[in-house]
């Protein structure tokens, strides 16, 4: 009878009951079956990389089965409406989380598309820092970036820097990856945007936006203690700086501003308008959508130009540098260059026309020397060539007027430019040319002419895509978003059988809030902080603000104790495979646990327990 209390209740003739009349379903067959299904499904999640089964699939399946069992159980006792309202409530909670994360992921993908993270990585690996300095810089940046960009993205970015600088130094890479994981998780603990758990606590209204800030000092302590102790084991040395270069694409800085504006909007919606933060984030997605429309039109005009620029040979990034050493005698050396080129004097007359340009255009030097007809080989109507522009235009207005959307500044000093276009007069069916121009100066720095050279890029162009915000949306971490759905629905289903109430009674009544919230962090390292935190929110224990802050802290940083305890750790296990391992992280677990305990102590000391 104890295994089937639902059937016994149904047999008693009850037709419809209210919420406070629900029988204890925790000892029912449906309850036990739900727990077993959840355990079996979740056991497959850590094996994702071994069995190549996406983590969302088993929990999605388990969520469906559990809610079938909930529906059958509640239908038997005449409480189908309660089950219906319960799943509606869970779906609404997930919808708010889903929309919020979708916008955040879209912005991160947009910034990645604009090379923001590549530019930061290139800057760091080209500085020539010592190994010790890289260890501290990457850790500090992980701590600072994580509250905005989330701990997973931050760990991947800083991990790439560590591996690029560390090379084959296994010890340095392993220690630095551990440092990055701890720093990223700690940095995400004092911001609603730094971790899924902090976001859930904020959206639930347990901790307001500014009330996360008191967790800053405990979070710093959580990172700094393990970092200091691990730094004593760092190898010495300064690796050679790489020459990696990467520039942010057009619109990158605007998108960073829009992302910050979106965060402000979400906070304002929650704090001042008393609307869900997700609504503010969706409003912010509108900012990006409108800007992407403008950017797409702008890039549409320069699509061809970018494709030509992207095809320039790496061996000859700036051919003007080759000619620069000749000074005013450039013209005498043009025939020695592989690039088609010509030179003008101060009166815009051709003084030199090399053989490569003869081959490209079909016009002979003897017919061009001393004339101002150099434009005819490229344009149907008379207009200034790029060489004409640099002779006259010191302000940059003329190049913008004649080559708008088709040019960029050349790294050469002075008013030198690169441009690109399609010339239908060149060759049998036209040609895509990249051309560069610079002033020619004498030994006194006086401009005596201008040189322009060309490179045929017809067969070298690269594919360049216009920015499309919908493509950025499609590249969100859908497996992660669906995993969150499965976890939330599983925990919500189990709560209908009374299990969350039982665990809450055991932890928060018997152990007390401080020990219970400390245990939450330990469980987060073993299970994953998302289901643990959602379970706590579902239990909804009566606690003061200081305890909600404590559980936010522990759930955020507790996962650092094991490599598989957080998304940041799991991500680096994949990217630094064989170097940063579960065992190498486990070796330093006592040190990380010391930082965990110290952060709890500091929180209780400066913020109090509230009890």
d(CA 426, CA 496): 75
Rg of the chain taking only CA atoms, in angstroms: 32
Mean pLDDT value across residues 442-453: 83
Q: Which of 433, 301, 419 is nearest to 378 (CA)?
A: 433
Task: Decide if 28 contacts 497 (C-beta within 8 A).
Answer: yes
pLDDT of residue 1: 42
pLDDT at position 314: 46
Please give the pLDDT value at position 13.
47
3-class SS at 126?
coil
- If phi over 0 gives left and psi between -120 and 50 gives alpha, with beta otherwise, what is residue 409? beta
CA distances from 281 to 205, 208, 275, 478 (A): 17, 17, 11, 18
47-64 per-residue burial string, b: 16 or more CB within 10 A, e: under 16: ebeeeeebbbbbbbebbe
Q: pLDDT at position 217, please?
A: 96
Q: Quote the pLDDT of residue 456.
A: 82
Contact 581, 573 (CB under 8 A): yes
Does the pLDDT at position 359 exceed 70? yes
Which pLDDT does position 315 carry in this prediction?
43
Mean pLDDT of 115-125: 81
Distance CA 231, CA 66 (A): 48
Residue 322 — pLDDT band, cuts 50, 70, 90?
Answer: low
CA atoms of 601 and 80, how far apart (whole Å): 46
**More confident of the two residues 14 and 94:** 94
d(CA 321, CA 330): 11
- What pLDDT, on the 0 to 100 scale, is given for residue 399? 78
pLDDT one-digit tens code per residue, 461-518? 655 455 666 777 777 778 878 888 988 899 889 888 888 778 878 888 888 899 999 9
pLDDT at 535: 84
pLDDT, residue 11, reads 47
**Which pLDDT does position 597 carry in this prediction?**
96
| 529-539 vs 545-557: helix crossing angle, rounded to 10 | 160
Average pLDDT over residues 44-59: 82
The lowest-confidence range among 42-46, 256-260, 359-363, 515-519 is 42-46
| Model confidence band, residue 14 (pLDDT cutoffs 50, 70, 90) | very low
Cα(first)–Cα(last) distance of the chain, in Å? 42
Q: Which residues contact 226 (CB under 8 A, 6 or more apart)?
A: 178, 179, 182, 588, 591, 592, 594, 595
Cα–Cα distance between 135 and 39 in angstroms, integer?
39
> Quick one: pLDDT at residue 215?
95
Residues 6 or more apart whose CB falls under 8 angstroms from that of 505 comprise none
Mean pLDDT of the chain: 83
Which one is the CATH code of 315-456: 3.30.450.20, 2.70.98.40, 3.40.50.1980, 3.90.550.10?
3.30.450.20
List for the chain the helix, strand, coil content (%; round to 5).
65, 5, 30
Q: In whole angstroms, give the CA distance from residue 355 to residue 334.
A: 9
Where in the chain do CATH 3.30.450.20 domains reside?
315-456
Residue 154's pLDDT is what? 85
Output the pLDDT for position 362.
86
Residue 529: CB atoms within 10 A of its CB come to 27
pLDDT at 298: 65
Instruction: State yes or no: pLDDT of 10 exceeds 60.
Output: no
pLDDT over threshold 80, residue 610: no
Over range 548-554, report the average pLDDT.
95
CB 450 within 8 A of CB 435: no
Lowest mean pLDDT segment, chosen from 141-145, 184-188, 243-247, 547-551 = 243-247
Distances (CA, A) of 380 to 29, 374, 384, 566: 85, 12, 12, 63
Q: What is the pLDDT of residue 308?
A: 52
């Amino acid at each position: 009878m104890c295994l089937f209390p639902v059937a016994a209740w149904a047999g008693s003739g009850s037709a419809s009951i209210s919420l406070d009349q629900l029988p204890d379903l925790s000892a029912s067959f449906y309850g036990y079956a739900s727990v077993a299904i959840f355990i079996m499904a979740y056991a497959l999640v850590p094996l994702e990389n071994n069995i190549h089964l996406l983590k969302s699939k088993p929990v999605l399946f388990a969520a469906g089965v559990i809610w079938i069992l909930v529906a059958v159980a509640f239908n038997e006792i005449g409480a189908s409406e309660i089950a219906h309202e319960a799943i509606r409530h869970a779906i609404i909670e997930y919808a708010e989380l889903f929309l919020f994360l979708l916008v955040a992921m879209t912005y991160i993908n947009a910034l990645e598309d604009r090379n923001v993270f590549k530019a930061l990585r290139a800057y760091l690996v080209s500085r020539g820092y010592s190994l010790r300095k890289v260890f501290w810089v990457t850790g500090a940046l992980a701590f600072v970036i994580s509250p905005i960009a989330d701990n997973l993205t931050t760990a991947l970015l800083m991990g790439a820097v560590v591996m690029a600088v560390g090379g084959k130094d296994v010890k340095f890479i392993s220690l630095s990856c551990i440092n990055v994981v701890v720093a990223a998780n700690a940095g995400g603990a004092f911001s609603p945007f730094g971790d899924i758990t902090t976001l859930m606590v904020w959206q639930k209204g347990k901790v307001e936006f500014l009330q996360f800030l008191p967790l800053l000092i405990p979070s710093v302590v959580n990172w700094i203690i393990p970092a200091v102790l691990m730094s004593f084991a760092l190898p010495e040395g300064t690796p050679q700086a790489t020459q990696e270069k990467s520039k942010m694409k057009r619109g990158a800085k605007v998108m960073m501003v829009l992302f910050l504006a979106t965060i402000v909007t979400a906070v304002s919606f929650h704090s001042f308008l008393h609307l869900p933060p997700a609504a503010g984030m969706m409003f912010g997605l509108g900012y990006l959508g409108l800007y992407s429309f403008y950017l797409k039109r702008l890039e549409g005009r320069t699509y061809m130009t970018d494709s030509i620029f992207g095809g320039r040979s790496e061996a000859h990034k700036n051919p003007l540098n080759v000619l620069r050493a000749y000074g005013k005698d450039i013209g005498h050396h043009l025939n020695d260059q592989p690039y088609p080129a010509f030179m003008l004097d101060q009166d815009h007359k051709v003084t030199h026309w090399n053989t490569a340009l003869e081959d490209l255009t079909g016009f002979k030097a003897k017919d061009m020397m001393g004339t101002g007809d150099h434009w005819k080989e490229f344009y149907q109507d008379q207009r200034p060539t790029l060489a004409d522009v640099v002779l006259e235009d010191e302000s940059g207005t003329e190049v913008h007027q004649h080559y708008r959307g088709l040019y960029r500044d050349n790294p050469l000093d002075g008013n030198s430019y690169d441009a690109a276009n399609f010339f239908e007069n060149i060759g049998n069916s036209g040609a895509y040319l990249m051309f560069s121009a610079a002033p020619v100066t004498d030994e006194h720095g006086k401009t005596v002419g201008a040189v322009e050279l060309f490179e045929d890029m017809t067969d070298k162009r690269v594919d360049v895509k216009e920015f499309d915000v919908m493509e950025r949306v499609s590249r969100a971490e859908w497996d992660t978003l669906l995993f969150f759905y499965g976890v939330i629905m599983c925990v919500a289903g189990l709560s209908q059988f009374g299990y969350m109430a039982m665990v809450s009674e055991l932890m928060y009544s018997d152990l007390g809030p401080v020990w219970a919230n400390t245990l939450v962090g330990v469980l987060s390292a073993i299970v994953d902080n998302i289901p643990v935190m959602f379970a706590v929110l579902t239990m909804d224990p009566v606690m003061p603000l200081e305890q909600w802050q404590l559980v936010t802290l522990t759930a955020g940083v507790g996962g650092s104790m094991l490599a598989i305890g957080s998304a940041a750790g799991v991500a680096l296990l994949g990217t630094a495979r064989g170097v940063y391992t579960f065992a190498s992280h486990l070796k330093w677990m006592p040190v990380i646990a010391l930082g965990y305990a110290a952060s709890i102590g500091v929180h209780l000391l400066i913020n109090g327990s509230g009890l």
